[in-house]
Chains A and B, each alone.
Chain A
Amino acid sequence: MSIAYFPGCTLSTNAKGYDHSGREVARALDIPLTELPNWQCCGATFPLATDNSMAFIAPTRILAQAQKVDGHVTTLCAICFHVLRRTQYFLDHRPEMLERINWFTEEPYEGKMRVSHFLEILRDQITWKGVRERVTNPLKGLKVAPYYGCLLLRPQKEIGLDDSDNPRILHDCLNALGCEAVDFPYQDECCGSYLLVSKPELPQKLAESILLSARKHGAQAIVTACPLCQFNLDYPQRLGGGGHMAQGGLPVLYFTQLMAVALGLEPASWGMESHYIDPRPLFANPKG
């Protein structure tokens, strides 16, 4: 049984390392992903105005395409996941809107898709025990702060991935890889998201708080499941520490990249070439 994989725009351009390491990890764990043919942008924001049917057409079209592959579509990007999952929830609860939106899609979405984040496949199908058994290079002693951000968790009623006030899914993933998951109070605070284009000083300020908090709690790196969180935390560090940011820089990785290292995959599978703070020195001297 194959799972439809929706990469999304950012994983095909700015965040290729996330896409690449994710596919390699799926291959190593025998998770059969099939990239959706002819996929297009999900819209990148979930429409919040009532009955804004037009903004639902793009994500609905993706669900309609995905239902041809199998009953399950998965993503790595937390934003695509958020948009697709909430769209699926909305259409399941508003059949009259589903009918109206289907007038504008090439083929009707029948409303039976399961939308998952790749983390859920790991947790629910492979299981963390299963992941742990496949780890050949346990990242012992590496302290990593799991940064969940917003869209992977909230609103809990519609997303339902984890407890939005006390999420564990990234913690459990890190523990399965042999790392030490570092609790820090900013784990689900906003990174500033798309304010990057309108008010760039705001994400920068938010990033400072998140990075300093993670560093203060002993983290040597941060992991995320969102390409915009990754950018918003990594990019402001590009000009060096300067004292006010985490000294020396705090690498910001995707969970799939850490998995690729722990599963013993070749460095070519890690996809770590385009980080502003290079995470590779963390793995230069493997212990044991």
Chain B
Amino acid sequence: MKVAIIIDGQRVQIDRGAPIIDAARKAGIFIPTLCYHEALKSYGSCRLCMVEVIQNRQSRLVTSCNFPAEGGMEVFTDTPRVRKIRRVIVELLLARCPDVPLLQTMAVQMGIDFNRFRKKEGKECILCGLCVRFCEEVVGVGAIGLANRGTEREVATPFKVASDVCIGCGSCTYICPTGCIEMVPDEETPKLRRMNMGKLSLSPCPNNYQCETCPIEQEFIQDIKQVVADFRSKHKRTPF
């Protein structure tokens, strides 16, 4: 069933229950996010996509990646409260990963010229979980997971030993928004590749993160599709 919702004054038709962010994209309204992907289940971890929703005369802040659209809902994607949240989140992530070009670009776009947080770390992974979920939900392998808790949380293979289930498709490298997963050829089995966590190629995107129109991206996706298809025909697996 289709419902109509109003986003920043624009009326948008969308399936009832679909996430608000889909409606916004349909209307050409940009909502920043680091953990949402159309091919994956909503995860709601980066909290950048928060918007203000007015429903039954009540205003509240929700994550647009998982909040279901209902008829008559009014959404505001760029209010002072929303901007404040986004600013603090980008500052927090930049304190964790000061050298990640994507975050630097975001900071510039949001007009953040000074990070108020003093504790700086030199990490590269923002723990968006895209790689882990893509590997499990789309590829159907589940070679990597999120290990440990709280500030110790990290992406890793089980027990941090080289994975014997990784098929070397490169999906994780492709989907990683900070570019902190590197693929290296596996010398023992030349056809396969091996992923290498935490090796950051800190070159900013030459296509300014416009993935949809990027030739490098298209080539990469073709490559991934081939490896995944091979894996599936060999193991008679269907995607989840």
Q: Please say whether chains A and B are actual partners in one complex.
A: no
Contacts from A to B (Cβ < 8 Å): none
Contacts from B to A (Cβ < 8 Å): none
